[in-house]
Structures are given as C-alpha cells and as structure tokens.
Amino acid sequence: MSMEAAAIKTKNPIYRRIVLGVLWLGLLYGAFRIFPYIIDLVVVVIIAVVMNYIFRPLVGILERRGIHRVVAITLIFAILLGLIVLLLNSLVPSLIEEIGSLSSNLEALDFEGIYVQGVEWLNLRIPGLLKLFGLDTTQAGDVMDRVAAASANFLRQSVNILASAANILSLSIVVPFLLFFMLKDGDKMTRALIRRVPNRFFEMTMSLANRVDNALGNYIRSVLIESSIVGLLVWGGLGIVGVRFALILGIINGFLNMIPFFGPLIAYIPTAIVILITFQPIGWGLFWMVVVLIVAQALDNILLKPLLISRSTNVHPATVLLVVLIGGRVAGAVGMFVAVPVYSIIQIIVLDLYDHLKKYRIV
Amino acid sequence: MAEKNTVLDEVAYGDGGPKSPAGKRLAVEWAPFHRGKLAEDVLVKRALRQTPLFENLRSRDWKLMSDLFHVRDYTAGEIIFEEGTPGLGMYVIVEGKVKIITHEKDEEVILATLATGDFFGEMSLIDEIERSASAMAETPTRLVGLFRPQLQQLMTHRPRLGITIFERLARIVVQRLRYSNQILLQQVKERDAGDLA
C-alpha cells in the first residue's frame, strides 16, 4: 500500500464514519426524547433570540450616536414597556371584546344543521359520493363530535405549550433578562465561544458565525416585517369594507403568512367563517374578502417578498407541507406557525456550514 | 513541554502581582479573574503598537479595538491558514516565528519568515480574496488576529475610528503596490538590457 493510500485510510477509515454516524443518530434521538421536557425553555430562548435580532440594529444606531450601550438598551426597554402598556390599554380590550363576541356568535351557530344541509346538497348532486366515504345525515352529531374533539385536542396542546412556556413569569422576567444580556454581551459571548474552537476550524467558524448571524438577522426581521404588513393590509382592507372582527382576522392572516404557500390559503377559512356569520349580504362579503386577500397577497408576492426575503430561504411546497405537519405534531398550532421559519433557519445554517466546510477544505 | 510565556509571566507575576489598569494593586481574591484579561490586553497592545496599522491610537480607541481582536496560540508546524482558502483577516505576531509558504510543482517554497511585530494577511481585511500563500508557525507562536467582520462592525459602530484604520490600511497597500511596481520595473529594465546585449 502506498503511503498516500495509507494516509487516506488512517485519516478517514470506514469504522470512524460508522461510529460518527451512530453518535449523531444517538444525539438526534436523545434530543428528540428530551425535547418535550425542555420545550418551554426552548420557547423562552427562541423568543429572546428573535427579539435580540429585532432590537440589535436599534442598539447599534443609538451607539453610533454616542449613547453608551447599556443606556441604549435601557432606553429601548423603556420604550418597549411604554408600547406594551399602550397596547394593553387600547388594543387588547377591543381584541378581547371581538374574541368574546366571535365565540358567542360561533356558539349560536347551528353547525349540525349546516352539516346536514351540506350533506343533503351533495347527495342530490353527486349520489354515491357520500356512500363512498360512508357518510349520511344521521351521523351528523357523531362527525361533529369527532371534529370538535380533534379541534379541542389540537387547541389544548397549543394552549398547554403557551401556558407552560409563555407564562407570566417567563415572559415578564426571564425573556427580558435574557434579552438584556444578549443585547449587552452578545458579541462577547460569541467571542468566548469562538475562542474555544481549535485552530484548524478557527477561520471557518469565524466566517460561518458571521454569515449565519447576518442571514438569520435578515430572515427574522424580514419575516416579521412582511407578516406585519400583510396583517395590517388585511385589517385595513376588511375594516374599510365593513367586515367585523377585522383586527383578529388581520392578526390571523399576518401569522398564517409565515407559512409559505398554504398559510395564505388556510387564512381564507377563518375569514370566510367570520363573514358567513356576521356579514350581510354574504355574497358581497365573500367577494370583498377575496379582493382584500388577493390584493394583500399580490402586494406581498410582488413587492414585499422580493424586497425582503432572500432567495436562499426558498422552500419547496412539499417540504413546507411536511414541515408544517411535523411542527403541528410536536407543538400544536404554535408548532405549525414556527415550523417553516425554524426549518428555514436550520436550512441557512446547514447550507452555510456545508459551503464553508468545502471552501476551507475540511471535507 | 510548554514554553514559558514571558509577556504573560511579566504582567501577571513580574512585579509582585497583578495591577488594575489604573495601576492600583488588585485584591488577592480578584487577581485570578483580572490576570488573564489584563495580561492579554498588555500583550495585544505591545504587539499592535509596533504595526503601522495600530500605532498612536488614543487610549479610548485601544479599549474599543481590544474587544475586536482574537488572540490565538499555535504549536510549531501548525498551519495558520492554507493557500487557496478564503481570506478573512490579518494576523500580527506577538511571539514566535511564522513561515509564509507556497507550492510550486509539489515543492514547498518559503516566501518569507516573519517574527515578532510583523503582520500578514492584511489584504483580506478589504475583500474576501483567496489566500495567495499558506502561513505556518515555525516555533510556538502567539498571534493577534483582526478580521473583516469585526472591522465592518467597527465601521458601523465607530465610523471615525474605522475610517482611520481603513486609511492606514490603504496606505500600507499603496506602499506594497509601489514596492511591487519597483521590482517589476527593475525586472523589465534587466530584461531590456539583456535583449540589447
């Protein structure tokens, strides 16, 4: 065996790959098993990291104007607190009122009646279709019970996560505490971590950390700005045409906009339900709904997305569906909302890592 | 065996224990916490003051700059960076020796051997160009690195200091360009003289 071949064999033997593979699988399995126990902690850290990316540029701007970093952070915290108080005083009461009113409207609605009417309507036009699925009007109560149980379970799961993770203590104490130190000492923390990296990987790690930091910051800020603008457009549009609960619908549309392709389509469902319950005449209500949502989506796709979101974070529709389903399975509705952003963030890290490993000739 | 770190030892133990930056002696229980940082600051300052890029900076600017530097230790024979990889920044030699090497037809060619106070890789501070040669520690070496992301950060947060550093960097690059032009001119003259002969 030549020396070169021997060197290659010693450098990367097959058993080493197998051991590394098994270790990685074990690590992934361990992380998956531990995840349910630390999910509340993970959510708190994610909220702090996201807020860090939002407010860090502001700290930079204030620091450039000669304001000390700690003073700048304190100033931002004070303004944020003021805004929260203002929102609690003005927006939240109307939001609670809207949710309460919407719930009572939903309770008053005869879902069983609608189901029976729908089934009979389908039966008249496509006979045999319902038999194929084993449905008839006598099962109305049973089907509605099952739908209600599944929805309740889904909502309970989401509420549980929110209740344990985003409880008052976590949100009001731990998140601001973490955020303060991330904003104040974030660079020092990164430096301290990079200091421990072996010399061989040092330059690569520095470059990678910088690239990922920039990409993540841009992505998080872009998604939040994009979703907020879409939410505002829907709120404004539906409000102008006189749809009730426009604020809630705006918030729902903004949140769902975080899920590419399917989010905006899913947003039609709650919007249509609200219009069916509250708007007269229904036909005009649905027409205005389609106009407002299409205009909002057109502006988003033509103007906002090309301006804000980089191409590197494009995700295939099939992947979106799979990721959203996994997110829903792991963490309910919250998981569905954050699944695609979290996947995009992992994608950015993995792609950049691979790119750097190649550039620095490590693989 | 690990080599004695003269600068660190002098700072930490040389004159009867560590002192605060203001010169007051630190309480014994705080000494271990301050020693590392204090020693590193003196170390970095001493090495960087010798380079044209960082000479004569105000003490306030030093404090800002010291947060941007990375101190790295290399053993003899360890590669600092490889030819052809993306350049990220420059290094200043604090202690030790560094060989700048390239390969021609599978043969190692030593372009230069650098010692304490010398610096290399400064072109990478301006743009992500590939390293034109490899750098290897010849002896146990301590380097201070300044990298593009940190310099960009300095430009954003402290534009005045950032511009000062960039001006000096431009001056160094111009000097090197003039030197290269002189060598090129000399080679052309020698070739012409040979043709005439």
- A130, containing H or E segment: helix A129-132
- State whether B88 and A195 contact (CB < 8 Å): no
Residue B118: which domain range?
Answer: 6-191
Q: Is residue B1 part of a domain?
A: no
Name which residue leads in pLDDT, A21 or A110: A21
The pLDDT, as a whole number, for residue A2 is: 44
Q: What is the mean pLDDT of residues A317-335?
A: 78
Q: Could you tell me the residue range of the domain that residue A314 belongs to? A: 216-363
pLDDT, tens digit, for every residue of A140-153? 566 666 666 665 56
Q: Look at chain A and report how many structural domains it folds into.
A: 1
Higher pLDDT, A321 or B7: A321
B141 φ, ψ to 5°?
A: -130, 140
Q: Edge to edge, what strands does the sheet with B89-95 contain? A: B70-74, B141-147, B89-95, B119-120
Q: Whole-angstrom Cα distance, residue A321 to residue A143? A: 25
Residue located via tokens 């360890």: B78
For chain B, the 3-state helix, strand and coil shares in percent, each to the nearest 5, are 45, 25, 30
What's the order of all strands across the beta sheet hosting B134-137? Answer: B79-81, B134-137, B98-104, B107-114
Among candidates B77, B59, B53, B56, which has minimal Cα distance to B151?
B53
The confidence band for A253, taking pLDDT boundaries of 50, 70 and 90, is very high
Q: Cα(B156)–Cα(B148) distance, rounded to whole angstroms?
A: 12
Phi then psi dihedrals of residue B119, to 5 deg: -135, 155
Mean pLDDT of chain A: 78
A351, A312 Cβ separation under 8 angstroms: yes
Indicate the Cα dihedral angle B46, B51, B54, B58, nearest 10°. Answer: 50
Under 8 Å CB pairs connecting chains A and B tally to 44
pLDDT: is B27 or A284 the higher one? Answer: A284
- Return the residue of A nearest to B150 by Cα: A210
Q: How far is CA A259 from the centre of its chain?
A: 7
Most confident stretch, A79-93, B32-46, B71-85: B71-85
% of chain A exceeding 70 in pLDDT: 75
Residue A313: the pLDDT is 59
Per the CB < 8 A criterion, the answer to whether A106 and A95 are in contact is no
State which of A159-163, A227-231, B45-49 shows the largest mean pLDDT. Answer: A227-231
Residue A296 covered by a domain: yes
Most confident of B11-25, B60-74, B93-107: B93-107
Q: Give mean pLDDT, residues A165-189.
A: 80
Let me know if residue B183 belongs to a domain. yes
A115 — pLDDT class (breaks 50, 70, 90): low
**pLDDT level of residue A14 (50, 70, 90 thresholds):** confident
Residue B130's closest CA among A26, A24, A360? Answer: A360
Quick check: is A283 in a domain?
yes
The larger pLDDT score, comparing residue A214 to residue A40, is at: A214
pLDDT at B19: 44
Task: State the pLDDT at residue A122.
Answer: 65
| pLDDT for residue A65 | 84
Is the per-residue pLDDT at B114 higher than 90?
A: yes
Whether B1 has a pLDDT exceeding 70, the answer reads no
- Residues linked to residue B141 through DSSP beta bridges, in sequence order: B74
Residue B197 C-alpha, separation from nearest chain A C-alpha, in angstroms: 49
- Is-above-0.90 flag for pTM? no
Q: With bands split at pLDDT 50, 70 and 90, how would you rate the model's confidence at B91?
A: very high
**A29-43, A71-85, B54-68 — which one is most confidently predicted on average?**
A71-85
Write down the pLDDT at residue A67. Answer: 87
Which contacts of A68-73 are long-range, i.e. CB under 8 A and separated by 24 or more positions? Answer: A69/A183, A69/A184, A70/A184, A73/A180, A73/A183, A73/A184
Question: In sequence order, what are the residues at sequence separation of 6 or more whose Cβ sits closer than 8 angstroms to the Cβ of residue A102?
Answer: A245, A248, A274
Dist. CA A231–CA A293, nearest whole Å: 10
Question: Is residue B69 less than 8 Å (CB to CB) from chain A?
Answer: no
Is A294 a domain residue? yes
Residues composing chain A: 363
- Residue B43 domain-assigned (yes or no): yes
Residue B156 domain-assigned (yes or no): yes
Residue A128 pLDDT > 80: no
CB contact under 8 A, B159 and A194: no
B61: in domain: yes
Taking an 8 Å cut-off on Cβ atoms, the answer to whether A202 and B79 are in contact is no
Q: Does residue A340 lie in a domain region? A: yes
Distant-in-sequence, close-in-space partners of B101: CB < 8 Å, separation ≥ 6: B83, B108, B109, B110, B111, B133, B134, B135, B136
Could you tell me the pLDDT band of residue A240, with boundaries at 50, 70 and 90?
very high
In a domain, A111, yes or no: no
Distance separating alpha carbons of residues A186 and B84, to the nearest angstrom: 32
Closest residue on chain A to B162 (Cα): A64
Picking from B83, B80, B109, the residue whose alpha carbon sits closest to that of residue B97 is B80
Select from A64, A194, A359 the Cβ nearest to the Cβ of B86. Answer: A359
Query: Is position A308 within any domain?
Result: yes
Which pLDDT score is estimated for A188?
85
Contacts of A320 (CB under 8 A, 6+ apart): A259, A260, A261, A262, A340
Average pLDDT on A228-249 reads 90
Percent of chain B with pLDDT over 90: 28
How many structural domains comprise chain B? 1
pLDDT surpasses 80 at B47: no
Coil vs helix vs strand at B145 = strand
- Note the ipTM here: 0.73
Assess if residue A274 is contained within a domain.
yes
Mean pLDDT of B160-164: 89
> Looking at residue A181, what is its pLDDT?
92
Nearest chain B residue to A360, by CA:
B85
Is the model's pLDDT at B95 over the cut of 50?
yes
A337, part of any domain? yes
Instruction: Please report whether residue B196 resides in a domain.
Output: no
pLDDT at A208 over 50: yes
In this predicted structure, the answer to whether residue A11 has a pLDDT above a threshold of 60 is: no
Q: Which residue of B has its CA nearest to A211?
A: B149
User: Which residues are CB-contacts of A236 (< 8 A; sequence separation ≥ 6)?
Assistant: A246, A250
CATH number reported for the structural domain that contains residue B37 in this entry: 2.60.120.10
**pLDDT of A331 strictly over 60:** yes
**Cβ distance of A203 and B74 shorter than 8 Å:** no
First to last CA, chain B: 59
* Average pLDDT for chain B: 79
Q: What is the pLDDT of residue B139?
A: 94
Which DSSP letter does residue A79 get? H
CB contact under 8 A, A194 and B70: yes
Confidence of residue A7 (pLDDT cuts 50, 70, 90): very low
Q: Please report, in angstroms and rounded to a whole number, the separation of the first and last CA atoms in chain A.
A: 23
